Structure 1
């Protein structure tokens, strides 16, 4: 299937590792130019070189802390030509109401929740002036699975879901599509850290985290590519009638409301 994305420019935040790096590779396969944003210049440089070598596409890097004052304006200045914006940066800490103190809670929300909102505000204006654009927010199924032990993330993701639906509900009037993706557990270093912490709490041994993986659909976390490919389709003209919607890719975890 020709996704009609060749020649488009995609700006991805949190692009240096995990899902972000997977997104970069997936869009490079479609012959998109890339603007890769993250804190680690070394990781970004390595990924950009890999992509240029393997897919023969241009990959610009912007190594910044998106929470620093004035940085989003800098990113906009260098990446305002992007046809597609993917907000992917940030990881809200796990834990219950007492595990996540006020500073940690605010720090997590500053990067993921407020940064997504601020990036949308900045790039939407330019996309509206051009009359076209796509914004994809990588959110997480914690916004649908109200989790006592992931309370800051549950609340933050739910806020981003509402924000995405509200913005995307009218954005087609301006030629812009705004969508959210809610991955469940994905096989990244971050999910391993979370599962190790839960295994310590549950079993008293972080090395038992594999027992938690067995409870997931297919007995594993999602592969990064299984999530990235959905983003690519949603960003494409093949998905032209979608906006203001959230797409959950978690193997049915959210839908399985059974008690056992």
Structure 2
């Protein structure tokens, strides 16, 4: 009985931005729980390589869908081609580190569009079918920067703060149709994008000292919470943003 609460067999899961990093790890976690996974990105070659690695590792159905998550027409066409999606993970994201007085408007818009508007565009396209079917799971990958700011990442923090509120707005509109929408908020995770920070002795020491767990997160640390949010075990959890941060947001 308990195992069935976390079983995703027969479900189709779309994970945006999943050719590498956090998205790739989340897609693997869903596949290991039994889901048929659809990987998304803009680079078809990178997607094909990621899909081959995932098939070799897990042995389940893996498809790819190359499209720009910020392009409404491309998103709609892709969702129609993919077919019914039971689980959507809005993971696509970019960072831009620069003092706010120096950030060009086009860079601000790029971060907001990629991190926030894409979740609206893809989420709405997928949710239309979920509403018709009366069930669905959406997980928006937020961040501890949904609540906390640091110098030099204003656009990113604004986008992730907006994503946390978009999560609540989606819940407010779609919960009555059997859809749960929650946020997964990682702390500082070791990925290709954060490698320069990990290798900076001063920043590494600051993160370890600032985090009660005394370490960075790994991508594997995020998988259990994602599977829970995607599975029947969380059917009455809605509109929440769950921090997976080693306690970073619990202390001052």
TM (norm. structure 1) is 0.89
1:214 aligns with 2:208: yes
Within-5 A mapping of 1:66-81: 66-68=69-71, 70-81=73-84
1:190 partner SS: coil
Q: CA deviation at 1:106?
A: 0.5
- The verdict on how the C-alpha distance between 1:207 and 1:86 changes in structure 2, with shifts beyond 3 A counting, is same
Q: Give, in whole Å, the separation in 2 of the partners of 1:214 and 1:131.
A: 44
Q: Distance in 2 between matches of 1:62 and 1:150?
A: 30
Distance across 2 between alignment mates of 1:167 and 1:82: 16
Q: Which position in structure 2 is the counterpart of 1:247? A: 242
Residue 9 to residue 69, structure 1, CA distance change in 2 (3 Å): closer
Deviates more, 1:58-67 or 1:181-190: 58-67
Q: In structure 2, how many angstroms separate the alpha carbons of the residues matched to 1:86 and 1:74?
A: 18
- Residue of structure 2 in register with 1:226 after alignment: 221
* 2:51 aligned to which of 48, 53, 62: 48
The alignment's C-alpha RMSD in Å is: 1.8
Task: State how many pairs are aligned.
Answer: 248
Per the TM alignment, residue 171 of structure 1 is displaced from its structure 2 partner at its CA by 2.2
After superposition, give the CA deviation of every residue in 1:10-30 in whole Å (9 maximum; x if it has no partner): 000000011100011111111
> Does the aligned pair in 2 maintain the 1:19–1:228 contact within 8 Å?
no
Distance in 1 (alpha carbons) for counterparts of 2:208 and 2:144: 19
Are the equivalent residues in 2 in contact too, given 1:167–1:178 (CA < 8 A)? yes
TM-score normalised by structure 2 residue count: 0.91
Residue 165 (str. 1) matches residue 159 (str. 2): no
In structure 2, relative to structure 1, the CA distance for the partners of 1:109 and 1:58 (3 Å cut) is same
The structural deviation recorded for 1:7 is 1.7
1:177 counterpart SS class: strand
More deviation, 41-50/227-236: 41-50
User: 181-190 or 169-178, which moves further after superposition?
Assistant: 169-178
* 1:125 to 1:69, Cα distance in 2 relative to 1, 3 A: closer
Matched, 1:179 2:182: yes
Please, which runs of 5 or more residues in structure 1 have no aligned partner? 200-205
CA distance in structure 1 between the aligned counterparts of 2:251 and 2:201, rounded to whole angstroms: 27
Residue 207 of structure 1 and its aligned partner are, at CA, apart by 6.4
1:147-203 residue CA offsets vs partner (Å, 9 max, x unmatched): 23321111111111111112213422101101111111111011224x27xx8xxxx
Residues 1-260 of structure 1 aligned to structure 2 (within 5 Å):
1-2=2-3, 3-68=6-71, 70-193=73-196, 195=197, 206=200, 209-217=203-211, 218-257=213-252
- 1:202 corresponds in structure 2 to none
* SS class of match (1:91): coil
- Return 158-167 or 210-219, whichever deviates more: 210-219
Which secondary structure state, in structure 1, belongs to the residue aligned with residue 131 of structure 2? helix
What's the offset of the Cα at 1:124?
0.9
- C-alpha contact (below 8 Å) 2:134/2:179 kept by paired residues: yes
Give the C-alpha shift of residue 216 in structure 1: 4.5
Instruction: Find the aligned partners of 1:212 and 1:77 in 2 and give their Cα distance.
Output: 46
